[in-house]
Structure formats: structure tokens, C-alpha cells
Amino acid sequence: MDRSEPLHYLSIDRAGNLIRDGKLSSVDLTESYLERIDQLNPTLHSYITVNGNAARKDAKAMDMEIARGRYRGPLHGIPLAFKDLVDTAALATTYGSKAFKDRVPSKDATLVTRLKAAGCINLGKLTMSELAMVGPPNLGKETLNPWNTSHAPGGSSSGSATAVAAGLCAGSIGSDTGGSIRFPAANNNLVGLMPTYGRVSRKGVMPLSWTLDHVGPMTRTVEDAAIILHAISGFDPADRITSTKSVGAFRSDLTADIRGLEIGVLEDSLIDIDFEIANAIESSIRAFESLGVRVRLVRMPNYRVLHIANSIIYLVEAFNNFGTLLRQKPSELGKIFRIYGYMGGLFSADEYVQAMRLRSRTRVEVEKIFEKVDLILSPTTNSPPKKIEEFDPFVLTESTRSASAEAFNLAACPALSVPCGFTKAQLPIGLQVAAKPMNEQILLNAAYAYQELVGLHHKHPSL
């Protein structure tokens, strides 16, 4: 192994191969991340709970298994971390809220159980917007963007993005109700994958909006996202919405040969966006064309009101989940969540039903687009990462929010953000690619081909 390559920036794919071949130990890899956490977390605040002693113990156990000839697969001995809404047995899961500061689950979430079975090491729990809404946590300090610590990393999976980008874990799990995996991935030069609704079990994951919530991987490369997705996907009898469809190999089926694919560029998403993002998207289109892809413009009816529909649905469902807490213990909740939470109680049943009707119509309209193209391309966000003091969580039309992200929560499609450039200020820009439900493989293939062409995954923040 080339020791000039920092352990903390090894891809999961490469680190897994080195562990398999006996050229790297899980103990050494885990220690490299724990040292990095000690060094940088006091500044970045990406972890709210570090699981150091247990991680060291588990890493030793994984190395012993390798020595005995038992190899679990590409995640054997790989250190990951989890957004603090994913239940981890005997380790605090607080949802980023003082209201749950003493909450210690007795069981792991299904996806944690699956990742442990694959051989993963749990480094700890990652900071998040309180109760996965918007803005900072109400427990612990606000996470900073490692590319420029005066800027926000994006939410609500803020700690998940910063930890991966800064080399504080090999990969992480985030959640996405309206862009909360893809926004911070775009802001941190990461791959953030929101799988098809029902692809991954949400058992043991805090619900914000039952009908919009997804959980998925946040990684430095497409290969790594494919590896994690394979491990966490599949039917779970404890989560009635999980699909019984077979799970693909994802990583082993990756190919950079995407010649002949049809990509639809979402014309509506190119209006009112930052000029540097517009330039990056134009360059991405040319890059895909050089890969042998045919590109055409597509339109999404009702695009301008999709953000409103998505907001009504998740606010109403969030109030359904947390209304009792808002009424009985409002002082334990932060100002931002209280305002958004109470807002969810103000919509009428008719308004909620109308939003759900628009959602159903959006699914049909997106299906029609996919009859003409294989993938839909758009900017992940409308503007680069905001300075922390400039971010206003109370503006529902905040320009960092992109209706193109929320459209695919409404349509239950898989969507992925992949790095596509940097601003003049060296802040990351993300490109979103979306596919038909249960078509993650074609999505991953397109992102992989693009990643290998542009090579932005090799860039890391100068901390």
C-alpha cells in the first residue's frame, strides 16, 4: 500500500480490498478516524456522540475474523457513522433535540443491524438539524462546512456530510424528506444517494414524514454508495412499505459504459439559479454527451408549486408525529422546530389532501417523462453553500432549496447528487441525477461514468 495516501481518505472500496488482502487492519483504519475526530471535531462539530471504545473493540474482532478466514464482504472492518436519528442499541440517539437528550435505544435500526452483519464499525452519531427539520441542532453545536467553516454544510444531514468530507468516517447514513441527503452532499463534494421509496427499511429511524422519508448513503465515491446501498436494501417485515423486489449487486454491476442512454435535462430547474451553478451544469451536460449519451430538454408540469406541496405534506405529518411534544414540552424544543412544527398544525385537511393529489399527479407526470428518457438531470441546489449568518431557515422559498430535489421525494424515485464543480470561492457544486423507481443501477452507472471522467472525488478540503 502507498502510505502517502491518508488512511482517512481511502475509499470504502479500496480500504475493503486492502483489509481483505491483509494489507490493512480494521484497527489501524479505525484509529486513523478516531484520531481525526479528536483533531477536527472540536472545530467542525460533526459528531454529537463518539463511540470510540466500542469501535476499537469491534475493529479488533473484525481483524480476528479475517485472521480466522471469515470474510464478510466489502464492508468488513469499515468504520461508518450514523445520523443521530438512526437507532443504535446502548448508544444515545437524540434526534438533535434536548427533548430526547437522554434517549438510549434498546435495539438497533434494521439498517444498522444489516451493516453490522456486513462487518461495519460504528464510530458514532452525527449532528443533525433538530428533529430533521431545518437549521441547527437544539442539542450540541452547529456543524460547519469543512470546505469553508464560515459556510453551512447543508441540512438536515449536516454532520453526516461534514464527517465524510473531512475524513472523519469512511461513509455515513443520512435521511432525506426533501433533499436532506442530496443538499449537504452537494455542498460538500460528496455522493449522496436517496434510494427509491421502500428500497431501504426505516424501522428504527425517527419519522419526520412517513410518506416522504428516505434513508441512504453519503460517501466520497459512487462505488462506496453502491456498496452501502447493497448492504442496507431489501424487504423488512418490520417496515410495511419496504419492497419485496430483489436487490441488485450494485457495486459489481457498475459500468462506465453508458453509451446510448437518453438523459433529460429538467428545463424548469435551470431558471433562477446561481450563474456558477448554471455554468457547472452546462459543463456536466457536455461531459455526458462526450460519454455517448443523448441529451434533450424535458419539462415537469406544476414544477413551480412542487416545493409547496412537499412542504405541506411533511409539515402536517411532522405535526402528527410531534404535536403532543409541541403542546406538552415546547420549552425543550428549539425556536426553529417550534415554528415549523406549529405551522404543520395550521393546514386544513383539504389543503393536505390537495397536496397529496398534486403528489399523485406528479408521479404520473414523472412516469411519462421516463417513457422518453432513462434519467433526469438537474442542479442539486440553486445556489452554493450559504454563509452561516446569511442562512435564514424561516424563508420557505430559500434559494438553496431546489424543487427538483423535492420532486423526486414526491415521485418516490431514486435520486443522487454527484460532485460537478466548484465556485471561484472553492465551494462545492452538486449535480442531481434521477431514475425510475427501483432503477438505482442505471443511476449509479451514470454517476460513476461521470465521476471517472471529471475526477472531482479526488479533491478534499484543506483543513
Name the residues annotated as catalytic.
83, 156, 180
CA 143 to chain centre: 15
CA 58 to chain centre: 25
Q: Which residues pair with 88 in a beta bridge?
A: 91
Q: Evaluate whether 187 touches 381 at the Cβ level (below 8 Å).
A: yes
DSSP string, 18-74: HHHTTSS-HHHHHHHHHHHHHHHHHHH--EEEE-HHHHHHHHHHHHHHHHTT----T
φ and ψ of 312, to 5 deg? -60, -45
CA distance linking residue 100 with residue 97, whole number of Å: 6
CA distance linking residue 248 with residue 194, whole number of Å: 16
DSSP string, 368-418: HHHTT-SEEEEES-SSPPPBGGG--TT-TT-TT--HHHHHHHHTT--EEEE
The residues near 355 (Cβ < 8 Å, ≥ 6 apart) are 308, 309, 310, 312, 313, 316
The residues near 90 (Cβ < 8 Å, ≥ 6 apart) are 104, 105, 106
What phi-psi label fits residue 89: left (phi over 0), alpha (psi between -120 and 50 degrees) or beta? beta
CA distance linking residue 321 with residue 206, whole number of Å: 10
